[in-house]
Amino acid sequence: MNGNEKVRLNKFIASTGLYSRRKADELIEAGKVKVNGEIVRDFSTTVNRKDKITVNDKPIEVNKEFTYIKYYKPAGYITTKSDEKNRKTIYDILPPEVQHLKPVGRLDKDSTGLLILTDDGDLINKMTHPSIKIPKVYRVCVEGLIEQNDLIRWAKGLEIQKGKIAYAEASVEDIEDGNTVLTVVLRQGMNRQIRKMAEAVKHPVISLKRTHHGCVDLLGLKKGAFKYLKPTQIKELKNYIAKIEKEYKK
């Protein structure tokens, strides 16, 4: 965003990486946001870099450069900064130089695999917003020999809790020790979605690993390690998101 480019206020706040778009809306509605010293509650307000934006009377500004990493989450850690139950989080093992980054979506405690972390709030919003449906790919091992009819039910949609229908594209990749290895593609972001879908067809998950998020993959990473995305990879990811965003707006 250059100095004169106007964007909606909630997008500006989210682009700082400090708040999500939803949290920005809540702050605006609560009268916590000021533009040039005046409280603003109008969501259609547009601003640019020249405007003085404060949240709770503290000035904020958009980072000129963002950081993007891919990280191989090991099992046993939750994807959050802190936890009221004092469970281990990914920030207990991430080094200090990336502690300020936020995850693009989550993986539950027992799951492993790819997490993208960044301080680019706009990218986080686009990659997690339900209207854009950026695909995530998983390698999932489930108990027993799952039937093709069960996978058809996944594709058509299963009610995993009252009023919530979950969808997934899945194909059988292998059979290991009498259990089924699946490749699963999600375009939703429900809590423990694959595990709940597997339980619904009576084939509980044994292991679950995310291998891809959009065009980013786990290649070259060991468990617990991270890599900075290169400028070419960042550009590729943003172009990928823009292409999918454009398709869903047709």
Whether residue 144 is found in the same domain as residue 205: yes
Name residue, tokens 């959009």: 214
Domain limits for position 159: 136-213
The whole-model pTM stands at: 0.80
224 Ramachandran zone, left/alpha/beta (phi>0; psi -120 to 50): left
Structure tokens that stand for 180 in this block? 């089924």
pLDDT at 37: 92
Residue 82: burial class (beta carbons within 10 Å; 0-12, 13-18, 19+): exposed
pLDDT at 15: 77
pLDDT at 72: 98
Question: Would you say 69 and 118 are in contact if contact means Cβ atoms under 8 Å apart?
Answer: yes
pLDDT at 250: 64
Active site residue 108: yes
Whether residue 82 is found in the same domain as residue 206: no
Residue 2 covered by a domain: no
Of 25, 51, 83, 108, the catalytic one is 108
Distance CA 198, CA 186 (A): 13
Residue 1 covered by a domain: no
pLDDT by residue, tens only, the chain of 250 residues: 555 678 889 888 887 777 878 888 999 999 999 999 999 998 889 998 788 999 999 988 766 689 999 999 999 999 988 877 889 999 999 999 999 999 999 999 999 999 999 998 889 989 998 888 999 999 999 999 999 999 999 999 999 988 899 999 999 999 999 999 999 999 998 999 999 999 999 999 999 999 999 999 999 999 999 999 999 999 999 999 999 988 877 6
33: Cα separation from own chain's centroid? 26
CATH number of the structural domain spanning residue 102 = 3.30.70.580
Contacts by 232-239, CB closer than 8 A, 24 or more apart: 233/68, 234/68, 237/68, 237/123, 238/123
Whether residue 185 is found in the same domain as residue 88: no
CATH number of the structural domain spanning residue 149 = 3.30.70.1560
Number of domains comprising the chain: 3
Name residue, tokens 């594209």: 169
pLDDT at 247: 81
